[in-house]
Amino acid sequence: MGRILLYTFLLLATLFFLLPVYLVILTALKEPARITLDTVWHWPNPVYWESFRVAWEAFRPKFQNSVILALSATVLSAVVGALNGYVLAKWPFRGSNLLFALMLFGMFIPYQSILIPLFQFVKAIGLYGTLWGLILVHVVYGIPIVTLIFKNYYSEIPDELVEAARIDGAGFFGIFRHVILPLSAPAFVVVAIWQFTQIWNEFLFAVTLTRPESQPITVALAQLAGGEAVKWNLPMAGAILAALPTLFVYILLGRYFLRGLLAGSVKG
Amino acid sequence: MRDRITAFLVLLPSLVAVGIFVYGFIGQNLWVSFSDWGKNPTQALALRPELQFVGLENYRELFSGFVDVRFRQSVVNLIFFTLFFMAGTLGLGLLLAIALDRGPKGEGFFRTVFLFPMALSFVVTGTIWRWLLQPQGGVNVLPTLFGFPPFNFPWLTTRQQVLVFDWNQLPFYTALAVGLTLLYLAWQAHRGGERKRLFWSLLSSGLLLLWALTLGRNIRLLPYAEPHGFSLALVGVILAAVWQMSGYTMALYLAGLRGIPVEILEAAKVDGASEWQTYRYVIFPLLAPITLSALIVLGHIALKIFDLIFAMAGLDYAPTDVPAIYMYLLAFRGNQFAKGAAIGILLLLLVAMVVIPYLASQLRKEVRR
């Protein structure tokens, strides 16, 4: 009895989570003329792959923007985070804990509260409407979370290792390169996954700071779906394109994905 | 010594960047919110606009000005969205976690399925659910596949409101809610035998309730009654948000359930506790800290919700408006930068009210350890 109830509940929950995906795929595979509201759940006949070609053509520049944006911002913020975490964990100075706390505050703020000055600033330095402006913004607002992850990770590395290397004559960067960096792979993976999914999926900065030629895919998708008289096969194919990279990361590296999620879930 | 200087110099750029982009910009935003930027169209788009200091005028207009009725509805929408989103996500997440904790076959599969929406962008989720919630399609025609009549709830397109109240009553209801919460805290303190805390929460609760019931009832923010309520168009948005986030609470709760020592559960069994009693008196209290963290995270997400609503209903649709949407609309479509900045500051205060007590309590725990 209890088992039956359990599996019924799990089945219903699975339907709740997967039916939307099923409908997205169905719709993306239908000929635009055959998409009618009362037959939305019918299997496409014939299957129409053309939507994906059209959507890919329409979204390819935005997809490329997203790839460049997410990869460069992720790499940059991982480097910044590793160095910051190394300093704060292994070279603390008077007041460094306070500065770290002040830094962390940056990940709790709602970005609406800095959006207008940020917009002005990016415009004033001539980066408005460029991908570089958006990369800069993501790196800067990523500093708190990546620093937190690396600092926590490096705190677990015994100070004796650092001390021993110092006695052997290694300096600040020498220790980082030969002692810390070889041990850092797990932290880099967590940070890379977290930043990549966050930046890929981000919308507020992207919609505020880009022009059409520098738009990432989230903005393009929102605008396509929001347009009037839209044929729904295209937004659905677009949604699949926009979702694939992060889904791929999730399915391949789910364990690390979850760890990042639990570490950084309060970020703005 | 040289290394110490190097270390500081390595950290310095990040400190400067955060200093400018977080603290500097918040300060500047505060100043903009006290200015008249946007009132004069010739100044609106200037790179260096000449701004006049107008004090709290923007805030006053938002709460009691004639034109900003949409802001007030967006605040009411935000309150209801936050409440139902948190309740739905916590409830479904807990149920899923309990189900998975009983070790069904294929647990890994179910976990993957329940968690995958977390990997999606709110824009993708919004696009998908916008299509699912078409009034004559998607979810509504699902029952017809099994021979049932279709649903006919109009989802996002409805303009109906329930639980309607007069905006002038907002201070009264707010004071009432906070007062009752404090009263509950006082009761908890009483049961825990914390006299000092009992005294202070009882005192502040008493004062608030007294104020609410006497003066609070007669406050008039507007010279006329202005009805606002729970906009039913939000039901679809809440559904989509729960779909996206309940895997996250499931993961939190599942980790919590797995962390409960077996001895405790054995002891409850030996004492003759029924299954329900075990949950009620042993397991749920042990999960309380997780619920608190989840509430903070979800509250944080809910208060600044923007992309989901943008993708589901767009900027110009008042029934699903929230402050973040209205802020964007005012500032970046209407060039009303000062008022937009004021909404930004209000959102910051709201989030601070949620996050700062939490961080303080976490910090105190760390010190005690």
Q: Quote the pLDDT of residue A1.
A: 61
Q: Which residue has the higher pLDDT, A12 or B293?
A: A12
Q: What are the CB-based long-range contacts (under 8 Å, 24+) for A224-232?
A: A224/A58, A225/B126, A225/B127, A225/B130, A225/B311, A226/B310, A226/B311, A226/B314, A231/A32, A231/A35, A232/A27, A232/A35, A232/B131
Note the pLDDT tens digit of each residue in B254-266.
Answer: 989 998 998 999 9
* Residue of B9, B109, B124 to mutate, interface with A, max A Cβ within 10 Å: B124
Number of other CB atoms surrounding residue B132 within 10 Å: 23
Q: What is the mean pLDDT of residues B32-60?
A: 81
Q: Quote the pLDDT of residue A251.
A: 85
Distance CA A32, CA A233 (A): 6
Q: Domain limits of chain A?
A: 1-48, 59-263
Q: How far apart are the first and last CA of chain B?
A: 33
**Statement: residue B49 has pLDDT above 90:** no
The helix or strand, by DSSP H or E, that contains position B227, with its residue range, turns out to be strand B227-231
Distance CA A67, CA A50 (A): 24
Buried b (16+ CB within 10 A) or exposed e, B207-246: ebbebbeeebeeeebeeeebebebbbbbbbbbbbbbbbbb
Tokens of A160: 């004796």
CB contact under 8 A, B141 and A6: no
pLDDT band, very low/low/confident/very high, at A268 (cuts 50, 70, 90): very low
Nearest to B327 among A112, A118, A207 (CB): A112
Collect all residues of chain A within an 8 Å Cβ-Cβ radius of residue B322: none
Nearest to B134 among A37, A137, A218 (CB): A37
Which residue matches tokens 């044929």?
A: A231
Is the dihedral angle over the CA atoms B57, B60, B64, B70 positive or is it negative? positive
Q: How far apart are the first and last CA of chain A?
A: 45
Q: Quote the pLDDT of residue B366.
A: 64
Q: What is the mean pLDDT of chain B?
A: 90
**Under 8 Å between Cβ of B306 and B314:** no
Residue B292's contacts (CB-CB under 8 Å, 6 or more residues apart) are B358
Collect all residues of chain B within an 8 Å Cβ-Cβ radius of residue A265: 248, 297
CB contact under 8 A, B123 and A268: no
CB contact under 8 A, A261 and B118: yes
Distance CA A67, CA A171 (A): 36
**Statement: residue B286 has pLDDT above 70:** yes
- CA-based nearest residue in chain B for residue A198: B121
Q: Which amino acid is at A24?
A: V
**Under 8 Å between Cβ of B343 and B34:** no
CB contact under 8 A, A113 and B95: no
Note the pLDDT tens digit of each residue in B151-201.
Answer: 888 999 889 999 999 988 888 888 899 899 999 989 988 988 888 888 998
Q: How far is C-alpha B198 from the chain's CA centre?
A: 28
CB contact under 8 A, A40 and B112: no
Note the pLDDT tens digit of each residue in A233-252.
Answer: 889 999 999 999 999 988 88
Note the pLDDT tens digit of each residue in B51-105.
Answer: 889 999 999 999 988 889 999 999 999 999 999 999 999 999 999 999 999 989 9
Could you give the count of Cα atoms lying within 13 Å of A200 in the half-sphere of its Cβ?
27
Distance CA A209, CA A69 (A): 13
**Statement: residue B145 has pLDDT above 90:** no
Shortest Cα–Cα distance, A164 to chain B (Å): 15
Q: Quote the pLDDT of residue B361.
A: 74
CB contact under 8 A, A247 and B314: no
Note the pLDDT tens digit of each residue in A168-209.
Answer: 989 999 999 999 999 999 899 999 999 999 999 999 999 999
Collect all residues of chain A within an 8 Å Cβ-Cβ radius of residue B134: 37, 40
Q: Quote the pLDDT of residue B368.
A: 61
**Statement: residue A262 has pLDDT above 70:** no
Q: Quote the pLDDT of residue A266.
A: 47
Q: How many CB pairs under 8 A join A and B?
A: 260
- CA-based nearest residue in chain B for residue A100: B15
Number of other CB atoms surrounding residue B109 within 10 Å: 12
Nearest to B3 among A123, A172, A249 (CB): A172
Region of poorest pLDDT, from A34-38, A177-181, A254-258, B302-306: A254-258
How much of chain A exceeds pLDDT 70, in percent?
94
CATH for the stretch A59-263: 1.10.3720.10
CA angle B91, B96, B99 (to 5 degrees): 125
The number of residues making up chain B comes to 369
CATH topology for B71-260+289-368 is MetI-like fold (1.10.3720)
Q: What is the mean pLDDT of residues A57-77?
A: 96
Distance CA A228, CA A129 (A): 25
Q: Quote the pLDDT of residue B114.
A: 95
CB contact under 8 A, B112 and A121: no
How much of chain B exceeds pLDDT 90, in percent?
58
Q: Which residue has the higher pLDDT, B232 or B43?
A: B232
Distance CA A37, CA A13 (A): 24
Collect all residues of chain B within an 8 Å Cβ-Cβ radius of residue A17: 113-114, 116-117, 243, 247
Nearest to B7 among A172, A202, A268 (CB): A172
**Statement: residue A48 has pLDDT above 90:** no
Nearest to A203 among B307, B340, B351 (CB): B307
CB contact under 8 A, A7 and B114: no
CB contact under 8 A, B7 and A16: no
- CA-based nearest residue in chain A for residue B303: A110
**Under 8 Å between Cβ of B338 and B58:** yes
* Residue of A29, A116, A211 to mutate, interface with B, max B Cβ within 10 Å: A116
Distance CA B173, CA B171 (A): 6
pLDDT band, very low/low/confident/very high, at A267 (cuts 50, 70, 90): very low
ipTM summary value: 0.92
Distance CA A24, CA A227 (A): 18
CB contact under 8 A, B99 and A9: yes
